[in-house]
Structure 1
Amino acid sequence: MTALIEAENLTRILPAIVPVTLVRDVSFTIGEKELIAITGPSGSGKSSLLYLLGLLDRPTSGTLRIAGQDTSRLDDDELARMRLDLLGFVFQFHFLLPEFSVLGNVELPMRKAGRLSSCEMRERATGLLEDLGLAGHLDKRPDQLSGGQRQRVAVARALANDPRVVLADEPTGSLDSKSSEQVFVILKDLVHKRGKTVIAVTHDLDIAARMDRRIHLVDGMVVSDERMTQGVA
């Protein structure tokens, strides 16, 4: 397995009068084209770990390498560029900007990257939205869409700069069962049809069991890291 993400003894301690350890001595390797669930009880450090992997937070100690790069050696601007180039994010609450259209929301990461012309950005955003079944909604505002549709827009936005890794924090947590299944199928297809690595925090154990691998946390520590025998279905 080619290592894409390597975590060694990652620890995140929240400074306070009584310091709080969010993540403790976490180590694992994640390869290309993996579909991974991060599970654990409430308060176990799932989202804190995801934010470390997504370079949205810095570890107190330990090492995180992404695509061979030691991220501890990067300054804030370099971390921002790595996030923009290599990582895509999907959250439980989509965080679409209400003042922009569906198309405009998906174009935003491309505008920030500054690599494509306006025409190229529009063409790519349109293609991503069409692939996700949203061809008829390009000019709508987010508040005109259902919850499941908004989450699909968020997935399209996450894919805008063609990242190698998509990180999802409870992507089905606010959806009904039908929309949850649709989003799961999309995440699965990102791995098996688009060649991405997907790491998803989820409380839904049925969905976790259908992923390729499950990393389970308790009190900020990895207590199991297993390949799922059921696999993706």
Structure 2
Amino acid sequence: MTALIETQGLTRVLPATVPVTLVRDVTLSIAEREFVAITGPSGSGKSSLLYLLGLLDRPTGGVFRLGGEDAEHLGEQASADLRLGMLGFVFQFHFLLPEFSVRENVEIPMRKLGRLGAEAMRDRSTELLERLGLAGHLDKRPDQLSGGQRQRVAIARALANDPPLVLADEPTGSLDSANSAQVFAIFDELVRERGKTVVAVTHDMDLAARAGRRIEMIDGKLAE
């Protein structure tokens, strides 16, 4: 399978009187259609690594290729364009905008990308939400939904621009066990049936076991 993510010696150091190394010398390859879980104790660097992979932070050393393109030295606009077209994000807290409806929240990435007209965006958001079991909630506000439903809206939003790669940072951290299992089942379906690549940071080892591969981090490095 083709590598979607490739890193060599990827490093992130926070400058300070005593510099803090968040990610240390990570060499990693993740193929298309893989479901990878990143685990490790708090402070191990797993979220910091995810933010580097998602172009939300910049490395201070190493090589990073995303979809075969050198990404470690991209300018702000090029990073934003690549992020918008190629990546979808799901976080522990859904970050839905409370003043917009469920459907309008899902349309936000499409509006930013600017490839679709209003009717096509509406059709796309409706299809995604219906696929995720939210057909009866399209015009509700986020505060009218349960925590599990809001996270499914966030997943629909992450998929709005049909990105090949979905990155998730503790996506079940605020959910109960039933909703957590549902979120990971959705990720598994995205990989198996939709051909997506999913990389999820999680502290839940039972959920991590559902991924196709598990990567453990300790002290900013990949565990042996």
Measure, in 1, the Cα distance between the counterparts of 2:144 and 2:154.
14
Whole-angstrom distance in 2 between the partners of 1:162 and 1:211: 21
Is residue 2:38 matched to residue 1:18? no
CA shift, 1:72, in A, is: 2.5
Question: What are the equivalent positions in structure 2 for 1:131-170 lying under 5 Å apart?
Answer: 131-170=131-170
Contact 2:184-2:210 within 8 A present in 1 as well: no
Unpaired runs of 5+ residues, structure 1, are 225-233
Flag as ranges the 4+ runs of structure 1 deviating above 6 A: none
For residues 82 and 158 of structure 2, what CA distance do their matches in structure 1 show?
14
CA distance in 2, matches of 1:120, 1:2: 31
Match of 1:32 in 2: 32
What's the counterpart of residue 227 of structure 1?
none
Would the aligned equivalents of 2:87 and 2:164 in 1 still touch at CA under 8 Å?
yes
Counterpart of 1:208? 208
> Deviations 1:164-183 (Å, cap 9, x if unpaired)?
00000001110001111111
- How far does the alpha carbon of each residue in 1:105-158 deviate from its partner, in whole angstroms, 9 at most, with x for none? 000000000000000000000000000000000000001000000000000000
Counterpart code for 2:126? T
Identical counterparts, % of pairs: 71
Equivalence for 2:4: 4
- SS of aligned partner of 2:223: strand
- Indicate yes or no: 2:139 matched with 1:102: no
CA displacement, residues 53-80 of structure 1 (integer Å, 9 cap, x when unaligned): 0000000000110111001242110000
Using the alignment, how far apart are the partners of 1:3 and 1:45 within structure 2? 22
- Which residue does 1:197 correspond to in 2? 197
Q: Secondary structure at the match of 2:72?
A: helix
The count of corresponding residues between Structure 1 and Structure 2 is 224
1:92 and 1:211 map into 2 onto residues whose CA distance is 18
- Report the Cα distance in structure 2 between the residues aligned to 1:47 and 1:61, rounded to whole angstroms: 17
CA distance in 2, matches of 1:114, 1:209: 38
Classify the secondary structure of the residue corresponding to 2:175.
Answer: coil
Taking the aligned partners of 1:105 and 1:152, their CA distance within structure 2 comes to 12
CA–CA distance in structure 2, aligned partners of residues 168 and 23 of structure 1: 18
Q: State the partner residue of 2:220.
A: 220
Corresponding letter in the other structure for 2:185: V
RMSD of aligned alpha carbons: 0.6
Name the structure 2 match of 1:91: 91
How many Å apart are 1:16 and its aligned residue?
1.1
Amino acid at match of 2:195: G
SS in 1 for 2:189: helix
Letter in 1 for 2:49: L
Give the residue type in structure 1 aligned to 2:40: G
Tell me the residue number matched to 2:52.
52
1:193 partner SS: helix
Paired AA for residue 219 in structure 1: D
In structure 2, stretches of 5+ residues that fail to align are none
TM-score of the superposition, structure 1-length normalised?
0.95
